[in-house]
């Protein structure tokens, strides 16, 4: 968050009005939906990963049956991540060039594993408990009413991917 700078009174007034208007986007019923927070986190994770310079776009593959989650992730389509345009597609065993993979149940993760080669440079993000245990790279965790994430650094290193240290500092737990 930005540090509070010493504005003169009128400035603060304008800012307050802005914040109040921006409120609806964030403070519905005292919070936001899990799905939209997760989608935004996935977007942020992508910003903190190093992508090969030979690519012109990034592909996010979604293995989920939660319609709301799919919709939230689809809003990321077209956005720019470090100058690369983002495409969002549903995961299918034939998709072999996903840069990022989102999965939200162990069953789907097992299907993904069955169709992927043993080592592939895909950033895997999962939202079910035990994803890091199952070999996933970033596990989004719900801790009471808040959302946190754990990073399985051993898995990241094994595939040759690089995550920026700023991301690791914010992680709840990092496993080597």
Partner 1 sequence: MTTGMRLAATGAALLFCVRPAFAEDDLTHLGLEALMGIKVFAASKYEQRQADAPSAVTVVTSEDIRAYGWRNLGDLLRAQRGMYMSYDRIYGYLGIRGILVSGDLNSRILVTVDGHRISDVVYEQAFILNDFILDTDLIERVEIIRGPGSTLHGATPLFGVINVVSRDPRRSPNHEVALEAGSGRWRAGRYTFTKLFENNASLMLSASGIDTDGQSLQFNVPPSWVGTTRGTDYEQVGRLFAKYENGDFKLLLAHSKRDKGIPTGATGALFDNRDNRYTDTQTALNLSYLWRLGNDTNLEGRLYTGAYDFHGNLLYDDTGPIVANKDLAWGRWQGTEWKLTRHGRAHTWIAGLEYQNNSRQDQQNYDIGGASYLDDRRKSDRFGLYFQDEWRHSPDAALTLGLRYDLDHMDKRHLSPRLAWVFRPGADKTLKLLASRAFRTPNVAEVWYAYGTRFAANPGLKSEHIEQYEAAFEHDLSPRTRYTVNPFLLNLHERISQVTLPSGSVQYQNTGSAKVVGVEFEVEHRFGAQGRLRASYSRQRGEDGNDQRLTDSPNDILTLNVSHPLVHERLRLGVEFQHVGPRLTFAGGTTEAARLLNLNFSGRLWRRGPEWSAGVHNVLDHAYSTPDTPDPVLTSRDRIEQDGRQWRATLTVPF
For partner 1 (CB under 8 A), the number of binding residues is 71
User: Shortest distance, CB of residue 86 to partner 1, whole angstroms?
Assistant: 10
Binders of partner 1 among residues 131 to 150 (CB under 8 A) are 132-133, 139, 141-143, 145-148, 150
User: Shortest distance, CB of residue 55 to partner 1, whole angstroms?
Assistant: 20
Binders of partner 1 among residues 60 to 79 (CB under 8 A) are 64-69, 72, 75-76, 79
Please check whether residue 55 is in contact with residue 84, taking contact to mean a CB–CB distance below 8 angstroms.
yes
When the beta carbons of 54 and 144 are compared against partner 1, the nearer one is: 144
Which residue from 18, 77, 85, 89 is in contact with partner 1, where contact means CB under 8 A? 18
Check binding of 24 to partner 1 (CB under 8 A). yes
Which residues have CB under 8 Å from 57's CB, separation 6+? 84, 85, 86, 87
Rounded CA gap, 157 and 160, in Å? 5
User: Shortest distance, CB of residue 88 to partner 1, whole angstroms?
Assistant: 12
Which residue from 35, 49, 60, 123 is in contact with partner 1, where contact means CB under 8 A? 35
Binders of partner 1 among residues 87 to 126 (CB under 8 A) are 93-94, 104-105, 107-108, 110, 114-118
Between CA 73 and CA 81, with CA 76 as vertex, the angle to 5 degrees is 130
Strand order in the sheet with 146-152: 80-81, 84-90, 57-63, 100-103, 123-126, 138-143, 146-152, 173-175
Which residue from 4, 5, 6, 8 is in contact with partner 1, where contact means CB under 8 A? 8
Please check whether residue 109 is in contact with residue 131, taking contact to mean a CB–CB distance below 8 angstroms.
yes
**Does an H or E element contain 59, and which?**
strand 57-63
Check binding of 14 to partner 1 (CB under 8 A). yes
When the beta carbons of 51 and 70 are compared against partner 1, the nearer one is: 70
Check binding of 168 to partner 1 (CB under 8 A). no
3-state secondary structure of 106: helix
């Amino acid at each position: 968050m930005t540090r509070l700078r010493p504005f003169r009174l009128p400035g603060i007034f304008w800012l307050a009005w802005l914040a109040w208007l921006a409120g609806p986007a964030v403070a519905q019923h005292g919070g936001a939906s899990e799905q939209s927070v997760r989608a935004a986190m996935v977007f942020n994770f992508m910003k903190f990963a190093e992508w090969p310079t030979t690519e012109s776009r990034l592909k996010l593959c979604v293995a989920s049956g939660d319609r709301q989650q799919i919709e939230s992730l689809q809003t990321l389509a077209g956005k720019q991540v470090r100058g690369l345009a983002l495409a969002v597609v549903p995961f299918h065993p034939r998709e072999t060039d996903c840069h990022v993979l989102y999965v939200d149940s162990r069953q789907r993760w097992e299907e993904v594993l069955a169709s992927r080669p043993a080592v592939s440079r895909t950033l895997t993000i999962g939202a079910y408990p035990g994803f890091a245990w199952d070999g996933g790279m970033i596990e989004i965790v719900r801790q009471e009413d808040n959302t946190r994430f754990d990073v399985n650094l051993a898995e990241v290193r094994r595939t040759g991917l690089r995550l920026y240290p700023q991301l690791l500092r914010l992680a709840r737990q990092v496993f080597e």
